[in-house]
Every structure is written in C-alpha cells, then in structure tokens.
Amino acid sequence: MQTDLQSQPGGLWLPVITPFLDGRLDTSSFERLVIHYLDETIDGLVVAATTGECLTLSIEETEELVAIAAKAIETRIPLFLGLSGSDTAGLKANIEETANWPIDGYLISCPSYSRPSQAGLYAHFAALADVTDLPVMLYNIPYRTGVNLLNETLLSLAEIPNIIGLKDCCTDAAQTFGILRHKPSDFSLLTGEDAQYYNALVHGAEGAILASAHVETARFKAVYDSVRAGDQMGALAQWRDIVDLTQLLFSEPSPAGLKHWLWREGLIESPELRLPMMGVTASLAERINTAMDQLKSHVA
C-alpha cells in the first residue's frame, strides 16, 4: 500500500486517460501526464478506469501503467485501480493477481449487461471486498451497466469495513441526496457526473472523480476548495467559468475530446484511441480548438 487512507477520501480525483501511440502504450506521455497532474494538486488518481479505456488494456499493460504511476506519485496521493466485469469469480482472481501491485485501493463498477438483483449486487461486492484488505470504492453508473445500485443495498455494503466510498453516477438527484443524508460519516460519496460537480459538493459530497478535470484542473480544484471553505458564491463563480467544458468534452464519446485537448496542449504525443472508440470529428475538434484559444486569450 502506497499511502495512508485512514483519513476519509475526498477532494478532486482524476480517472486518468491512457495514451497510445501506433497501437501501443505511450509510456512517456503517461508518465508526463501523471507528473503534470501531481503539480496541479489533484487528491487522488485512478488508473485503468473507463476514461482510461480499461476494456482495451491487457493485464500486462495495466500493470505497466500502475508501476509508472506509483513511481511518479511516491505516496503523495492515493492510487486506485479501476476494475470492471460481470464475473464475480473472475474479478476475485483479478484482485488476487494484483494484490502485490503498488496500489492503494480499487474502484469497482457494478456488473454490466447481466443486470443482477440487489441481493446479487450485495453478494458480488461483498465477495470482492472479502478477498482484499485494501479499500474498495464502488462505482454506480446505471446508464452504462444497465443496473442501479439502490441506496438500501449501498448502505448495507457501506457497513463492510473496507468498502469506503462510492463514485456516484446514478443521475438521480433524489437518490444521491438520500445517500448523503443516510450514509455513515466515514463513507465518502464522490460524484462522477462532471456536469453535477458543483451541485454535488454543495449538497455535501466529499469530492469528485472527474474526467473533465484533465483540463483547467486548477479551476476544478478551486470549486472544491471554495465550497470546503464555505465560500459558496465564490465556488459558483468559478463553476460558471468551466461548466461548459463538461458538456463540450462529453459531446462525443469520452475520452476522445479529452485526448484531442491534451494532444493539442502537448501533454500527449497522439490523440489515438483504441477501437471501438474513435477520435473526435472535425467539427468537435474545431470547437475544442476554439475553446482552448478563448481560454488562453482570457488568461492573457
């Protein structure tokens, strides 16, 4: 374990992209990205999650990414590994295989496609938490998986000691607020809905795991810092400056927009994605280029 997670996880976490070059991992760009975001004072990093195109990565590639990130981080922030799948036994084997990797915990999504019952979801996550001593953060994103982890089930899972939090993408404001009202004090809710970042923080979320925070990272962090300092109006002013970015970057399947932005910024060598994901269309590329130029002129 790299860092001490006795304190409650919170703040701004980044589900980092995976750079590719000519079909292979671009490890130089990946290392550059991790160092860049450490300087931007993010509070946690997730490798090989959805934004990292995890479903296209081999176990060897994932291990290489983890090793690079862990070496760069040097225990400064927590490093979580994204896991997904619908086979409980297979995921247990994945956790056992990664037990000695230099990670601090796991971000595990609900099973996709199979649409298990709530009892099945509880048994699935309980079984996964039982095979590791590391912290586990659950990931509820029904519009991708086809199943919603309901609050009653989630709150039962929160009683398991090493299930420490939730990346919440349920898109139901009432469901999210219900979690915030009833969850244990040592269980974190981090929103994963980029466009709902400000609202989630104001309603009591401990933080966020945001793909959009790859760009204008300091501004996204300023929203969090202002809310935590009790400056809601200051946070709102910061949020108004960047909220349109969340729509722009997700106007085509992510992480295409992010990769185009980071490539144009010089942080990665290529905006390449792996099929079935595709690069941005010419029209979105033009819109992103315009947004970048406008932000640069605003700063100047």
Q: Is 184 helix (H, G, I), strand (E, B) or coil?
A: coil
CB 83 within 8 A of CB 91: yes
Known catalytic residue at 139: yes
Candidate list 37, 122, 139, 198, residue with the active-site label: 139
Task: List beta partners, residue 11.
Answer: 207
Give the dihedral of Cα atoms 94, 96, 99, 100; nearest 10 deg.
Answer: -100
Known catalytic residue at 167: yes
CA distances from 49 to 16, 23, 137, 161, 185 (A): 8, 19, 12, 23, 26
Give the dihedral of Cα atoms 79, 83, 89, 95; nearest 10 deg.
Answer: -20
Closest of 94, 73, 77, 76 to residue 85, by C-alpha:
94
Q: How far is residue 265's CA from residue 71's CA, in Å, rounded to a whole number?
A: 24
Q: How far is residue 53's CA from residue 192's CA, in Å, rounded to a whole number?
A: 16
Q: Is 25 helix (H, G, I), strand (E, B) or coil?
A: strand
Query: Which residue reads 């509820």 in tokens?
Result: 140
Give the CA angle between residues 84, 217, 175 to the nearest 5°: 50
The tokens of 249 are what?
A: 């970057």
Task: List beta partners, residue 73.
Answer: none
Candidate list 167, 183, 221, 259, residue with the active-site label: 167
The tokens of 212 are what?
A: 């959009």
What residues are annotated to the active site?
Answer: 139, 167
